[in-house]
Structure 1
Amino acid sequence: MSEPEGLNELMSELGNVISEIESNSEISSSLKTESKVQDSKSLLSQCSSILQRAEQKPKLRIIHHLACSGGTLISKCVAAQPNTFLLSELHPTTHLHMGGGKPKFLPADVTTQARYANVPNVDELAWRIFQSNIKITSTHINNLGGYLVIRDHSHSDFCVGKKPESTSSIVHHLNSQFEILSVATIRNPIDSYLSLVSNNWEHFEPKGFDEYCKRVECFISGFQRSQIIKYEDIVAKPLIYIKKLVNKLELPYSDSFMDTFSAFNVTGDSGRSGEVISPRKRRELSETFLREIQSSKSFKKISEKFGYE
């Protein structure tokens, strides 16, 4: 029996005893004072208070963004906030890190080792391990007075295979155990797609800019507009927009991230990294790609919603 269930049962029994005492004159009169009844009521109140705290789900902060959209820079800025600990690019059922050929040396990764071992129903196992690990890690960091932030690998949900997921898999599997605070960041699809192609990360079918924009649409559909912050705004005015992002995640904030963000170790860095936050010059556009942009209905919808040219 879990602790909340046991506490509920105890509270029920205490309530029954108190009711019986108060309704029975003989029992009441046998008590020289009402102190014992009052003590019982006090205990019941304490149990109720403990139960309410137990039933409150702990908060879990998650940052979402697609590959090549400036996510590593943004994650470093978040990781640089006081008492904040960021776990980068998590997704327990992705295969992208495994590649082909010889198995990789991953001594702490039970899920990947289970895949190498051909364990049956490995995806189900992966989610159970992941849920347990996040719960333990969250409790550990909370007890130290810190804040856990997850950077999920949204690319695995929305830009891999023939069909994107309808929502974040990590949120889907964790929202029963946590109160999720989510923030998504987005970059102009023209720039993120060019970088994606440059890295050879078109992991979806069919390939092409319009298909990519459809997947961006699917990604952003899971968030309210107030939850989405543009990468372009962040690099133009980092002090304003990182603070805005941090506040949405209910994290402590410090301007000092401007001086320290580059020192934090975060996976990714697929783009043009550096120690200065500033807008980057757009890659050159071919005539063929310009025609793809002009013919993409999905890009038009995204550009109208977020003010992209």
Structure 2
Amino acid sequence: MTFKLDKTKTSINQALKVIAEYEKVHGEIDISGNHQSNLNKLTSIQSDSQFNSRKCSMTKPTLRIIHHFACSGGTLISKCISALPNTFLLSETHPLSMNHISGKPKYLPSDVTTLARYAKVPDVEALAKHLFANNIKDTERFVREQGGLLVLREHSHIDFCVGTTINDSGVVFDCLKEIFDVKNLVTVRHPIDAYISLVSNDWVQFSPATFDEYCFRMLRFLDIYSYCTVLKYEDFVSDPDKHMRLICSELELTFDSSYRSTFSSSLVTGDSGRSGNVIEERERRPIEPDLAKEIKTSKNFKILVKRLKYSKDI
């Protein structure tokens, strides 16, 4: 049952008004022998209620965000989270993404940010961040009022794997940290497997387009979210229930083992890998000779696998 302070305050105010009106007509009546004391107590309760109401209004609602690189198993984990009870996941969120914009303008009637870009609105990135923050704020409140929990799957690729530079922080988190009490979680996959899949999908959008650069960018990603728990995709698929319990603990979600039988029906964008309805480890894709040379000479790869406690063997 939800306890609403506003209703309590209204009831107390009404009771005080009745007492005041009664005293105007009949004078102060002390039935218990300590009427004034009781009235003082009621006034004190009203004051406490007002304080608690203000305190409640200052408390930030909780928002959950998961961060990971593209092609690192994040879609599978996101589907499993989405299949939890009363949990609603918004997939691949980011206010500044332009990956969906190319060629002729697309029909996107509800995407105000993209329409503003088409219209060449000045300082559109500031507008995009503002709209994004308010949309998430309203969506979280709506979901919460329906008894649900909102999770964002951040499209970290935009911050760390596009262009020649790397963001100093995560844009999604920066947009929302003042509004919400954010619960974060990072998921990773062995950099060789993730990079091979990235190349296979033709999603290498950073420069220089090398494996060493990819590892460098992943290290920056880990630095920025160094305060977060890091979950390995390989560990998740080896023991899904154990690691779903960890996810639920970190994100304050409710664990239910039924996710295993329903996750495959979750509608989540970014399903670029070898999808299926069974959670299991997949064999590594073949490594091309040129990539094998890059891996052996990459300094950042050696730092990365040591940090994440992955094998450096090819």
The answer on 1:38 being equivalent to 2:36 is: no
* Separation in 2, partners of 1:34, 1:259: 61
Structure 2 gaps, min length 5 = 1-5, 7-34
- Of stretches 287-296 and 65-74 in structure 1, the one that deviates more from structure 2 is 287-296
The answer on 1:113 being equivalent to 2:115 is: yes
The answer on 1:94 being equivalent to 2:93 is: no
Q: Which amino acid aligns with 2:191?
A: P
- Of stretches 244-253 and 216-225 in structure 1, the one that deviates more from structure 2 is 216-225
The answer on 1:246 being equivalent to 2:248 is: yes
- Of stretches 228-237 and 217-226 in structure 1, the one that deviates more from structure 2 is 217-226
Structure 1 residue 35 displacement after superposition: 4.3
Aligned to 1:281: 283
* Separation in 2, partners of 1:51, 1:272: 50
Per-residue deviation, residues 160-206 of structure 1 (Å, max 9, x unmatched): 11111122111111100100000010011111111111111111111
Q: 1:225 to 1:283 in 2, by over 3 A?
A: farther
Identity %: 45
Match for residue 131 of structure 2 among 126, 129, 132 = 129
Structure 1 residue 113 displacement after superposition: 0.6
Per-residue deviation, residues 183-240 of structure 1 (Å, max 9, x unmatched): 0100111111111111111111111100000000011112347611001111111111
* Separation in 1, partners of 2:268, 2:197: 19
Q: Which amino acid aligns with 1:138?
A: E
Structure 1 residue 288 displacement after superposition: 2.0
Q: Give the conservation status (yes or no) of the 8 Å contact 2:97–2:158.
A: yes
Structure 1 residue 51 displacement after superposition: 1.0
Please report the TM-score for the alignment, with normalisation by the length of structure 2: 0.86
* Separation in 2, partners of 1:46, 1:54: 12
Q: Which amino acid aligns with 1:49?
A: N
Structure 1 gaps, min length 5 = 4-31
3-state SS of paired residue (1:33): helix
Aligned to 2:81: 78
Per-residue deviation, residues 52-102 of structure 1 (Å, max 9, x unmatched): 111110000001111000111110000000000000000111111112x11
Match for residue 228 of structure 1 among 207, 219, 230 = 230
Per-residue deviation, residues 112-163 of structure 1 (Å, max 9, x unmatched): 0110110111111111111111111111111111100000100000001111
Match for residue 66 of structure 1 among 56, 69, 78 = 69
Please report the TM-score for the alignment, with normalisation by the length of structure 1: 0.87
